[in-house]
Structure 1
């Protein structure tokens, strides 16, 4: 039989009872004759607990010490899963990201994977061992320091391991049983998808869907690794994330998603000169802050306002950087708004259907939901709205585009 890579999230390993359940699922896969490598997250709530401890000591903590600390969450859960398997009579070994050769680019708290050596995993397979790997972490060889991959990084770890081992499928086990057309907690009639394209899943993940980290989907697409999203709590069919096919193009909108972890920053009265936008966003990028939607107002009297969105967790850092920019370029000031959300519709079928954006705007207008910012791509339309209207907007759009 072949190699199977599995991944279990924090909720799946959130208690000893659930860890034993995970061990049973892994053992079942091994009984089918597969070599199994399993990536695990920290126990649910553990990463937040560690971060809060660090913040109590110093809110402006060192990124290096952050990585040293939070990486211990996964280093605790992986031996617990391995020992559960050993207690059941299955040979298993726990390994850190460093031990499997997970090489990163060295950016603390948000590293990118450069390579996975995987030699140690292959050695353990030869010995007959199941490998339980601490996700979310790797090593920057130049410094020898542990680096972490950002929240949800265990998904990316798992897909990277699957690519390195040339596994055809990476099974991601979570507390949900697949990818839905909307969050079932918000939309009562949300439907589970049997399959979804990499492009659609990438958009949904980057727009706020919590099922998969967007970088894991990008990695799967680049290395042709199919990703199966399954429940660790129920034995049900899941959702396959795979290459686009003709059936997918028949559906105009595959999913509706909202992201409340958004904040808007406006730099007021920016000199309307060539090169100013480059100067602003180069400085923001150098601080490792991701910018999403950007809107520049029409220039007036030689000045213009520049607005953009960032993750709410980056707002304080971004505001500090923007205050520095204001002094450098002679702008008037910085305004921040945390009370926003981004609502998006996604579907590869949009490529061949017209009027989708117009219909979305009309539906929001009919329900008195004001649009603050708009961004589009070939397969998505996103609107920034007041946060208090985000769930209503998702329900309206799902009913019109998916349930209709």
Structure 2
């Protein structure tokens, strides 16, 4: 018998019929002898509907009140699922964040979990109940309702699993695991049976949408055994595990990509020790995150400083740089928001050479030029023109033999 935390969200609970199916699935786990704690998201589309309602009242609603509003979506799902389980003759109880004791900081809309009190959950389990927790939400020290941001229910599930020392945290989605890349781009993409936390963290941060990055971080820190499965099929999904448990270490495990990129270059800057700070500090003050950075010294001794930001921050960043040109003694700003980032990821890179050579040979064979290159111990990322994204993904997937079973 295992203690399981199971998370269901989005399309998995997108209708009453789907909620009924999830109830059957949970009961099946119980009948196999497992103790089950469930964490749920709002029904598909509900959070967007609530945000639209708020914006009809106020185009820029109070962040505190918006959290009060959108947290109700998960409450609805939790109550409906509990009803469905009880109707089938099993004991269940729905609980909100304050009833569980999920404490967060006070960053409305982007709160981070500080602690989870396991006492109430374990007490209900001892009473033989299925515990159903409304995900995505918490309470700060002033008892204000907070939300964790998009995908925050994954983080709730992992945090609960860590608190109660669950044997496994199972994330049920509309896909049946983690793939070598997006099957919509590369039909030969293969589902991986296992992937390391380091690899999953890189894949999530580089554009893979299967898991929220904070959930992966939390699971890695607290050593929570994490599995991604489909609500619609019986497959075992993908286990996210520790590197030492991984029997096979392929050179490259997956290809991640992100279309939402923009690249900016400040040219002809007078070289100085504060150059990077002079450019990046005003950007950071506006809460804009910078990703890849490259600095090139030109023949005349000036510097070209290039970096990427999220595409949604492109216009604001471009405007900031245009205001900075004279102050930092730069020549011009060159900007392009029609780019994409593609990354190859794999723990095998730690102990094998030749990944970069293979990667750039594959891109050269397709006539794809790279605008930026960034590396870490287990990943290589490139920025290319967006029109080459799909070709790039397919070429790299083939070059590293990711369609093959390993």
> What TM-score, normalized by structure 2, do the two folds share?
0.90
CA distance in 2, matches of 1:242, 1:91: 32
CA distance in 2, matches of 1:138, 1:268: 46
Find the counterpart in structure 2 of residue 173 from structure 1. 172
Find the counterpart in structure 1 of residue 145 from structure 2. 146
Shift of 1:179: 1.1
CA distance in 2, matches of 1:229, 1:206: 17
Find the counterpart in structure 1 of residue 200 from structure 2. 201
Residue pairs, 1:173-252, within 5 angstroms: 173-245=172-244, 250-252=249-251
Shift of 1:307: 2.8
Find the counterpart in structure 2 of residue 124 from structure 1. 124
Over residues 290-317 of structure 1, what are the superposed CA-to-partner deviations in whole Å (9 max), with x where a residue is unaligned? 3221122326767534332233344455
CA distance in 1, matches of 2:84, 2:268: 61
Residue pairs, 1:57-136, within 5 angstroms: 60-136=60-136
Q: Which piece of structure 1 moves more, 158-167 or 92-101?
A: 92-101
Q: Does 1:337 align with 2:350?
A: no
Q: Is the 8 A contact 1:248 1:349 kept in 2?
A: no
Q: 1:399 to 1:136 in 2, by over 3 A?
A: same
SS at match of 1:42: strand
CA distance in 1, matches of 2:335, 2:272: 23
Q: Is the 8 A contact 1:229 1:240 kept in 2?
A: yes
Q: Which piece of structure 1 moves more, 14-23 or 88-97?
A: 88-97
CA RMSD of aligned residues (A): 2.5
Shift of 1:248: 5.2
Q: 1:273 to 1:75 in 2, by over 3 A?
A: farther
CA distance in 2, matches of 1:279, 1:105: 31
Q: Is the 8 A contact 2:106 2:146 kept in 1?
A: yes
Gaps of 5+ in 1: none
SS at match of 2:297: coil
Q: Which piece of structure 1 moves more, 82-91 or 287-296?
A: 287-296
CA distance in 1, matches of 2:326, 2:376: 34
CA distance in 2, matches of 1:248, 1:324: 54
SS at match of 2:343: strand
Shift of 1:263: 2.5
SS at match of 1:358: helix
Q: Which piece of structure 1 moves more, 355-364 or 279-288?
A: 279-288
Residue pairs, 1:23-38, within 5 angstroms: 23-38=23-38
Q: Is the 8 A contact 2:196 2:246 kept in 1?
A: no
Shift of 1:232: 0.5
Gaps of 5+ in 2: none
> What TM-score, normalized by structure 1, do the two folds share?
0.90
Shift of 1:103: 1.8
SS at match of 1:363: helix
SS at match of 1:181: coil
Q: Is the 8 A contact 2:190 2:403 kept in 1?
A: no
Find the counterpart in structure 1 of residue 345 from structure 2. 346
Q: Which piece of structure 1 moves more, 185-194 or 329-338?
A: 329-338
Q: Is the 8 A contact 1:98 1:137 kept in 2?
A: no
